[in-house]
Amino acid sequence: MDTKKHYKLYKDGKKWCVMTIAAVASVIGLATTANADDTDTTTSPVQTAQVAEETSTSSATDTMNVDNNADQPTSESTIALSSKRTNNNTSVNNEVATPVQPQGTEQKNGWINENNNWTYYQDGQVVSGRDYTYLPTINGEGHSWYLVDNGVVQSGVQQWAGSYYDFDANNNYQRIDNNYVQSQWGDWYLFGNDGRIQTGVQQWAGTYYYFDPTTYLRVDNDYRQAQWGDWYLFGNDGRIQTGVQQWAGTYYYFDPTTYLRVDNDYRQAQWG
């Protein structure tokens, strides 16, 4: 007796099932075939259930395998690649982090122009404090006297040794002597032959002026006592006055030679 099996898919709810159909060919006849069909039919649900269960189990197993693969740790090739990248990054970082060796700097000596200020260095150092000292000439030959403050040369009106002096930045920062000059803040002062600022009655430009002992400024339109005790009248331009002059609501006469006020005398005025 020959038996042939056929499989047929059918849907049971949400599941796909396989049905086994057995066809028995027999020389015995239709009756035998019918019996064989009945026998196979009774066993078919069992086979169908088994196929469905195996299919379901297989699907569940595949799903679990996929999920398990997703949870698997990184493969050896991935670890090796990450390790290689880490090593490369470490190498780059090491190259970047390598400190640059400082280059040797030339030691400063002599006059150095720093931010438009001349500073004097000796063996790379500046002398602290304020001093009027004899140093090599700035941008020249020989030596000159300079007022320096912490190594920086000074210019303009400066206080030094209990008095004031003026140093000309346009003349190699040299001290100004015997001149009437404008300070860096705009006021004018007279400096003597030793460079010191002048006060009291002073001769300048062919005449005499008076400079206040406190402010050092020229006094205009005032009657002042000189440092030697005599009194003199100074006009609106600061010059000492002579002849007939108006002062304090009246008129006085000042001698053209001595510049002193004349008392108890009959004099001729400058207008005749």
Q: How many residues does the chain have?
A: 272
- pLDDT at position 114: 93
10 Å CB burial of residue 260 (0-12, 13-18, 19+) is: middle
For residues 73 and 79, give the distance between their C-alpha atoms in angstroms, rounded to a whole number. Answer: 10
Q: Percent of the chain, pLDDT > 70?
A: 61
Q: Which of 26-30, 94-98, 104-108, 199-203 has the highest mean pLDDT?
A: 199-203
- In angstroms, the CA 218 to CA 238 distance is 7
Q: Residue 70 — pLDDT band, cuts 50, 70, 90?
A: very low
Tell me the domains of the chain and their CATH numbers. 1-66 (no CATH), 108-196 (2.10.270.10), 199-272 (2.10.270.10)
pLDDT tens-place string over residues 152-193: 999 999 999 999 999 999 999 999 999 999 999 999 999 999
What tens digit of pLDDT does each residue of 103-146 get?
A: 556 889 999 999 999 999 999 999 899 999 999 999 888 999 99
The pLDDT value given to residue 139: 84
**Most confident segment among 25-29, 91-95, 264-268:** 264-268
Name every residue whose Cβ is closer than 8 Å to that of residue 6 and which is 6 or more positions away in sequence.
20, 21, 22, 23
The 10s digit of each residue's pLDDT in 217-235 is: 999 999 999 999 999 999 9
pLDDT at 41: 44
Q: Which tokens sit at 38?
A: 């009945």
Which residues does 23 contact at the CB level (< 8 Å), separation at least 6? Answer: 3, 4, 5, 6, 37
Please enumerate in sequence order all residues whose Cβ is within 8 A of that of 181, keeping only pairs 6 or more positions apart, or say none. 166, 188, 189, 191
Which of 67-81, 105-119, 246-260 shows the lowest mean pLDDT across its residues?
A: 67-81
Contact 175, 166 (CB under 8 A): yes
The predicted-structure confidence for 81-103, as pLDDT tens digits, reads as follows 344 455 555 544 555 555 655 55
Q: What is the per-residue pLDDT for 28?
A: 38
Residues 6+ apart with CB under 8 A from 175: 145, 147, 165, 166, 167, 168, 195
